[in-house]
Amino acid sequence: METLQHPATNSPVWREPARPNTRTTMKAIVQTEYGSPNVLSLQEVVKPMPKGNEVLVRIRTTSVHAGDWHLMRGSPFLIRLIFGGLLKPKVQTIGTDMAGEVEAVGQAVTQFKPGDAVFGDLSESGFGAWAEYVAVPKQSLASKPENLSFEQAATVPVSALAALQALRNVGQIQPGQRVLINGASGGVGHFALQLAKAFGAEVTAVCSATKAEMVRSLGADQVIDYSQQDCTQTNQPYDLILDTAAYRSARDFLPALTPAGRYVLIGGSTPRLFQALLLGSWLSRGSKRTIKCLTSSPNQTDLRTLKDLIEAGKIRPFIDRQYNLDQIPDAIRHIETRQVQGKVAVQIGNPSESQL
């Protein structure tokens, strides 16, 4: 028992201490076959328990992005080879981005404790973010940025990590460079725009006219409306081109690069990926131009880097829409329109619980 003072009478009041959450089941979005959003359903499943080096997180908010769409459909076929399940999905609850509170920790975990606010990328730890709880290795998580709500924080990990690694690791961005971001209003693109500015670059954003105001608000120096101007035909070539739209051949972008410029592809169709991976050196032969494809590598160090940049006011997520857990099929359909500005958030807890 705990003794408290009544606020009006100052008399003692007895209150039962908080009891640990003893639920053994949870709600999760489940799929047992590949296909359209219709294969997704909200079900009651077994609640996970953390192993020695794992953290059990009560998820407050998750998000939806193109990678989830590919996992849901099992397309391109390479997805099935990587994550198992040639005919049926091996991973039945997907979802990668998440933010929430630590519910419990394994015996080997000292970095986190129950009640800590965290966010993370689960793409290399089994997925499972489209659920009320998830048990993941401690290295998949970092402390949530203090100036973001759970809703905002859950939209950061996958897309912002991809943008950071594409610019810094693959693109080798330098202060003062001219950078073109194709698809600058999308999930990865809008983070890449802000990160490139934080690195000291001059940024040209490529998007539709309806999204020009959004990218300008995030710091774009110039905006190209792709319906009115071909971004590969320019009088001032770019030191770095980040292609998150992936509609065109990498070859098309070579004339828009400086003699030692870099083109970095993020995502795209299987033919585009293979072109960048296997034919990059051949396409850029005879020059110092390079064509690369990002292979994102989630890690705790980069999550902490993003946390620091966010708390310093260098980057912020732009949320297009918010859905509830049972509305994830609708969220996926919205992603399929390719008209999303920034990110799509999915609330799992009560509205009041998704705030700072």
Same domain assignment for residues 126 and 145: yes
Q: Outline where 133-269 has alpha helix (H).
A: 150-153, 157-165, 187-198, 212-217, 250-253
Task: Give the list of residues 6+ apart from residue 169 with CB closer than 8 angstroms, or none.
Answer: none
Of 242, 277, 293, the domain-final residue: 293
| 3-state percent breakdown (helix, strand, coil) of the chain, nearest 5 | 30, 30, 40
pLDDT of residue 230: 93
User: Does a structural domain hold residue 218?
Assistant: yes
* Tens digits of residue pLDDT in 103-141: 999 999 999 999 999 999 999 999 999 999 999 999 999
At 54 the pLDDT is 97
Confidence at residue 295, expressed as pLDDT on a 0 to 100 scale: 86
Q: Which of 158-162, 238-242, 244-248, 336-340 has the lowest mean pLDDT?
A: 244-248
Query: Both 150 and 162 in a single domain?
Result: no
User: Same domain for 228 and 275?
Assistant: yes
pLDDT > 90: what percent of the chain?
A: 73
Do 30 and 109 belong to one domain? yes
What are the phi and psi torsion angles at 115 (to 5°)? 100, -15
Q: What is the DSSP string of 338-349?
A: T---SEEEEE-S
On the question of pLDDT at 2 being above 50, the answer is no
pLDDT higher at 20 or 129? 129
Range of the domain at 75: 25-156+318-354
For the chain, where are the alpha helices, taking DSSP H only? Answer: 66-73, 78-83, 150-153, 157-165, 187-198, 212-217, 250-253, 270-278, 280-283, 300-311, 328-336
Phi, psi of 270 (to 5 degrees): -60, -45
pTM tops 0.85? yes
Q: Specify the CATH number for the domain of residue 228.
A: 3.40.50.720
* pLDDT at residue 5 is higher than 60: no
The separation between the first and the last C-alpha atoms of the chain, rounded to the nearest angstrom, is 30
Q: Do 291 and 263 touch, CB atoms closer than 8 A?
A: yes
Per-residue pLDDT, 158: 97
Domain membership flag for residue 311: no
CATH assignment of the domain containing 104: 3.90.180.10
The number of domains in the chain is 2
